[in-house]
Chains A and B, each alone.
Chain A
Amino acid sequence: DGGITQSPKYLFRKEGQNVTLSCEQNLNHDAMYWYRQDPGQGLRLIYYSQIVNDFQKGDIAEGYSVSREKKESFPLTVTSAQKNPTAFYLCASSITTDYGEQYFGPGTRLTVT
């Protein structure tokens, strides 16, 4: 089955801790994305990557970091500098960033207390 996996589904952390969210895809897509969604809101872009070893900031990159060492993987680290980290985090991929058809993972709901 081709698709995007995110783990875990739910994640709980204490304030002040960094946490890394996993995103893996086996669709052979070059482009990958991280979005954040708050209750009742649309999605906001955190970071995106057009190709391995390359990534760009989205609209709300402050307090987050990413890496793209492998085509299949695009982990997101939520650092202690992120002021409001509790949210639903969604990873997506597309053939390239040229195309608007993005495939989304199931999401990770992060709660920081």
Chain B
Amino acid sequence: DAKTTQPTSMDCAEGRAANLPCNHSTISGNEYVYWYRQIHSQGPQYIIHGLKNNETNEMASLIITEDRKSSTLILPHATLRDTAVYYCIVRVELDTDKLIFGTGTRLQVFP
């Protein structure tokens, strides 16, 4: 079973920031938070991951709460091409355990 809880769907206007929440209240101290997205009928794409500090890359920012029980993925200027299913995953690094993909959040970016 997935260790995360995400809203089923969200909408965002093009050009605005998309903030996708994820709850992981049972996260362990050595588990990282990963975000992937899947555009319709394509393979998932890695976005970002973090342990406890906020992270930023060219695609997105990841904000993790101090207690690490939740996080938010931020797409600063959403475009139509960001319409996808976004998966939040927790995983122990340096562990052979698999990635567990739940059902994710379906983000619809509208013009």
Residues of B within 8 A of A100 (CB): 32, 34, 49, 89, 91, 93, 99
Q: Which residues of chain A are within 8 angstroms of B91 by Cβ–Cβ distance?
A: 100
Among residues of B, the one whose C-beta sits closest to the C-beta of A31 is B96
Known A98-B93, A98-B95; judge A104-B45 contact (CB<8 A).
yes
- Say how far A57's CB is from chain B's closest CB, in angstroms: 11
Interfacial residues, chain B to chain A (CB-CB below 8 A):
2, 32, 34, 41-46, 49, 87, 89, 91, 93-96, 98-104
Complex interface bits, A27-51 against B, C-beta within 8 A gives 1, otherwise 0: 0000001010000111111001010
Whether the pair B101, A43 counts as a contact (CB closer than 8 A) is: yes
Scan A71-83; emit 1 where CB is below 8 A from any B CB, else 0. 0000000000000
A residues whose Cβ falls under 8 Å from a Cβ of B: 4, 33, 35, 40-45, 48, 50, 58-59, 88, 90-92, 97-107, 109
Question: Which of B2, B34, B94, B101 meets A98, CB within 8 Å?
Answer: B94
| Contact B43 A58, beta carbon cutoff 8 Å | no
Residues on B with beta carbons closer than 8 Å to the beta carbon of A103: 46
A42 pairs with B87, CB closer than 8 A: yes
- Chain A: which residue is nearest B102 at the CB level? A42
In Å, the complex CA distance between A100 and B33 comes to 10
Residues of A within 8 A of B99 (CB): 43, 45, 100, 102
Task: Report the nearest A residue to B100, measured CB to CB.
Answer: A42
Interfacial chain B residues near A104, Cβ < 8 Å: 43-45
Contact B96 A97 (CB under 8 A): yes
A42 touches B101 (CB 8 A): yes
Of chain B, the residue at the smallest CB distance from A103 is B46
| Interchain nearest-CB distance for A6 vs B (Å) | 8
- The smallest beta-carbon distance between A9 and chain B, in angstroms, is 9
**How far apart are A59's CB and chain B's nearest CB, in angstroms?**
8
CB-based contact A106/B98 at 8 Å: no
B89 in contact with A107 (CB, 8 Å)? no
Give the CA-CA distance A97 to B91 in the complex, in Å. Answer: 12
The docked-state distance in angstroms from the alpha carbon of A27 to that of B102 is 27
Chain A residue numbers with a CB within 8 Å of B42 are 106-107
Closest to B44 in A: A104
